[in-house]
Amino acid sequence: MLNISKEKNGKACTYFLEGRLDTTTAPQLEGDIKESISDVNSLVMDLAKLEYISSAGLRVLLSAQKTMNKQGSMVVRNVRDEVNEIFDVTGFADILTIE
C-alpha cells in the first residue's frame, strides 16, 4: 500500500510518500511522476512516512533522478533508518542527494 500526495508550486514539486514502495506499488509512483514533472525544475521526495523500499522502488527513484539531472535538481529528504540502510547497501546514498 502506497499513498502518494504532492504539492506543486510553479516549477517546484514535492512528493510525500507513505507506506511501501515495492514491486506492486512502484508503477503507480512511476506513472504519477511521468505525468507531473515535465515542467518541474526542483523535485523533492519526502520519505518521512516511507516504511519500505525494494529494488522496484529504487528503479523509480533512479529514473526520476536521471530526468531531473537534465532539467533541474532532485532532493530526497526525511529518510527513515531502515530505508537509508537500503540506500547505503546499494550505493544509492552516493547518487541521490539526501538531506
Query: Least distance to another protein from the beta carbon of 17, Å?
Result: 15
Per CB under 8 A, the list member of 23, 31, 49, 77 interacting with another protein is 23
Stretch in the footprint of another protein (CB under 8 A) among 3-11, 21-29, 31-39, 41-49: 21-29
Query: Least distance to another protein from the beta carbon of 10, Å?
Result: 25
- For 63-86, give one letter per residue: b (16+ CB within 10 A) or e: ebbebbeeeeebebeebeeebbeb
Question: Among residues 69, 55, 57, which one has the least CA distance to residue 4?
Answer: 57
Closer residue to another protein, CB minimum distance, 5 or 69? 69
| Per rule CB under 8 A, count of chain residues that contact another protein | 24
Sequence-distant (≥ 6) Cβ neighbours of residue 43 within 8 angstroms: 12, 13, 14, 15, 37, 64, 68, 72, 73, 74, 75
List the interface residues with another protein, window 33-52 (CB under 8 A). 51-52
Contact flag: residue 22 with another protein (CB under 8 A): yes
